[in-house]
Amino acid sequence: MGPLEILWACIIVFFVFFALVRGYAQELGVTTLIFAALFIITQFGEKYVPAILVLIVQRTGSAALSPRTQEHILSIFFSLFFIIVVFASYAGETFTLKGRSKTSGPAALVLNILVGLLNGYLVAGTLWYFQDVYEYPVVDLHLLQLPLSDFAETAANFLPPYVVPPLFWAGMVMLLLLFRVKD
């Protein structure tokens, strides 16, 4: 596999294409659900899921998990939860911001691109965050080689859950929901 930042950039580009096809009103519905997932993960998940994992292992009578195994399980759990939320937000009947879109032409194109960039950054950055915070479990699967490039090391400091506090995600969900019910 190539450098992580290349994969990250490709994911962002895909989300820009999605936004160009679907339009910013539908993409903002996806953004709302991404914000909700980030709030749940950062406010509650990271605090309680590790303790629940230890409790489950103790209750089943299994041997204690090694710290590395716990990192693998937590990375997979949070990544899958997040991917399922993103997938569900795109599948079937989607959550869309209502209202009469008076924006068309170049302004709509710019809005579509900006929302696509935001969603791509949130998705790619959050999945990268799960790798970073749990010490890159994909290295053990030989899907990534460390060390990261200097750019990737710097970029990792700007992943969404690192730079934004959990209550911001909740506030953004409320704001976007207000926009949805406004009309």
User: What is the tens place of the pLDDT at every residue in 36-59?
Assistant: 999 999 999 999 999 898 888 878
User: Does residue 82 carry a pLDDT above 70?
Assistant: yes
| Dist CA 171 CA 135 (whole Å) | 30
User: What is the tens place of the pLDDT at every residue in 6-44?
Assistant: 889 999 999 999 999 988 888 988 999 999 999 999 999
Task: Compute the average pLDDT of residues 157-175.
Answer: 92
Q: Which pLDDT band holds residue 183 (cuts at 50, 70, 90)?
A: low
Q: Which of 44, 34, 45 lies closest to 172 in space, CA to CA?
A: 34
Name the residue ranges covered by the structural domains of the chain: 4-182
Residues contacting residue 174 through CB under 8 Å, at least 6 positions apart: none
- What does the pLDDT read at residue 62? 73
More confident residue, 82 or 91: 82
Q: Which pLDDT band holds residue 93 (cuts at 50, 70, 90)?
A: confident
